[in-house]
Amino acid sequence: MNGMMDTAENVMKHLSVGNQRQQDAYRVFQDSGLLAKLAAYSSYPTGTVPIDIDLPDSDLDVLCYADDLKTFQAEQSGQLEGIALNGRTQWTYGISVSDQKAYVTCELKLGSWPVEIFVQAVPVEQQNAYLHMQVEWSLLQLWGEAGHREIRRLKQAGWKTEPAFAHVLGLEGNPYIEMRDLAELKEQELWEFARSRVTF
């Protein structure tokens, strides 16, 4: 399925008419009101589910932007506990690799889905996970079902998503930085680059 994934609204439209797991993810987001509750923080659903390379144990990922991570946790803990299965949430602070700022994650369960909310003092459109998904989605549209099959094959063999794409493209170095750097290319430039390097 084609279409832009640049906004949360577009991702949700995509999920709403996607495969069974994507439609289930859409219902979970809608029924829980998670994205609406986090709308003030530019909430954006990302990860492998929207681009249909998820595995059975994949989680739902949501990116958010907040100037102050501690304040975000203080303001959102109660709301998130209120919608989480059994009221359980797990918060983790860390320093991101790949030259990005500190972050906090909140893990919870909504229905049968594990969910991870990732928050940085970086606008969502500049966060690595957002940039990675834009590149990956563009590449999958170029490659079609053959590309989906190859990425799923690698992931089923234990590869993480960005290393799997970097392997297919024959990229060397840190796959997370390499994939982020590809986001600077215009779509046509990306496709021309990918056509010359694809390995499946």
129 confidence band (pLDDT: 50, 70, 90): very high
What pLDDT sits at residue 1? Answer: 44
What pLDDT sits at residue 85? Answer: 93
Residue in the structure block whose two tokens are 């797990």: 90
pLDDT digits (tens, 9 = 90+) for 58-110: 999 999 999 999 999 999 999 999 999 999 999 999 987 666 689 999 999 99
* Rounded (5°) CA angle 94-62-104: 15
Domains and CATH numbers, the chain: 8-123 (3.30.460.10), 129-195 (no CATH)
pLDDT digits (tens, 9 = 90+) for 162-199: 999 999 999 999 999 999 999 999 999 999 999 988 87
> Residue 152 — φ and ψ, nearest 5°?
-60, -40
Residue in the structure block whose two tokens are 């949700």: 12
What pLDDT sits at residue 104? Answer: 96
> Residue 60 — φ and ψ, nearest 5°?
-95, 130
- 38's CB contacts (< 8 A; 6+ apart) are 62, 64, 76, 117
pTM: 0.94
Given a contact cutoff of 8 angstroms between Cβ atoms, the answer to whether 140 and 148 are in contact is yes
Over 27-88, what HEC string results? Answer: HHHHHHCHHHHCHHHCCEEECCCCCCCCCCCCCEEEEEECCCHHHHHHHHHHHHHHHCHHHC
